[in-house]
Amino acid sequence: MHNERVTELFNVRSHNPSFFAVQARTGFKGELLDFCIPVNLHFPPPELVQSIHRRLAEILRYYPDYAEVHAEHIAWMNDLDPDTVVPCNGSTEIITRLCQLAKGPILTSIPTFSRWTDLPQELHVPLHTILRRRDRNFRLEVQEIVERCREVDAKTLVVSNPNNPTGAWLKLDQIKQLTFQLEDLDAVIVDESFLDFSDLDSAAGFAAIAPNLIVVKSMGKSLGWHGVRLGYAATNPDRAKLLRNELPFWNINGLAAYVLKDVTNYREEYRASFSRVAGDRDYMFKQLSSLPDLTLFPSKANFIFAELSANISGRDLRDQLLINYGVMIRECGNKIGSSDRYLRLAVQRPEAVDVLVNALKTELASSPT
Q: Are residues 146 and 39 in the same domain?
A: no
Chain centroid to CA 156: 20
pLDDT digit string, tens, across residues 82-108: 999 999 999 999 999 999 999 999 999
Mind giving me the DSSP string for 266-286? GHHHHHHHHHHHHHHHHHHHH
Q: What is the CATH number of the domain that holds 341?
A: 3.90.1150.10
Q: 5-25, pLDDT tens digit by residue?
A: 666 666 666 567 777 777 676
The whole-angstrom separation of Cα 94 and Cα 233 is 7
Report the distance separating Cα 121 and Cα 195, nearest Å: 27
Task: Read off the pLDDT of each residue in 322-351 and give the average, rounded to a whole number.
Answer: 96
Biggest CA pair distance of the chain? 61
Look at residue 61 and tell me whether its pLDDT is greater than 70: yes
Same domain, 246 and 188: yes
Domain C-terminal end among 266, 298, 329 = 266
Residue 30 has what pLDDT? 73
Pick from 266, 291, 319: which residue ends a domain? Answer: 266
Is residue 323 predicted with pLDDT exceeding 60? yes
The predicted-structure confidence for 325-339, as pLDDT tens digits, reads as follows 999 999 999 999 999
Q: Are residues 14 and 154 in the same domain?
A: no
CA distance 41 to 53: 20
What pLDDT shows up at residue 368? 66
For the cut 70, the answer to whether the pLDDT of residue 223 exceeds it is: yes
* Whether 90 contacts 191, CB under 8 Å: no
Residues 6+ apart with CB under 8 A from 176: 203, 206
How far is CA 298 from each of CA 150, 198, 251, 301, 304, rounded to the nearest angstrom?
A: 29, 12, 36, 9, 7
* Cβ atoms of residues 215 and 74 within 8 Å: no
Do 154 and 120 belong to one domain? Answer: yes
Mean pLDDT across the stretch 48-64? 96
CA 99 – CA 106 distance, rounded (Å): 9
Mean pLDDT for the chain overall: 94
**CA gap 319, 52 in Å, rounded:** 37
- Confidence tier at 245 by pLDDT (50, 70, 90): very high
CATH number, domain with residue 157: 3.40.640.10
Asked if 94 and 233 touch (Cβ cutoff 8 Å), the reply is yes
* 132 contacts 170 by C-beta, under 8 angstroms: no
Residue 21 structural domain = 3-43+269-365
pTM: 0.94
Domain count of the fold of the chain:
2
pLDDT tens across 118-145, in order?
999 999 999 999 999 999 999 999 999 9
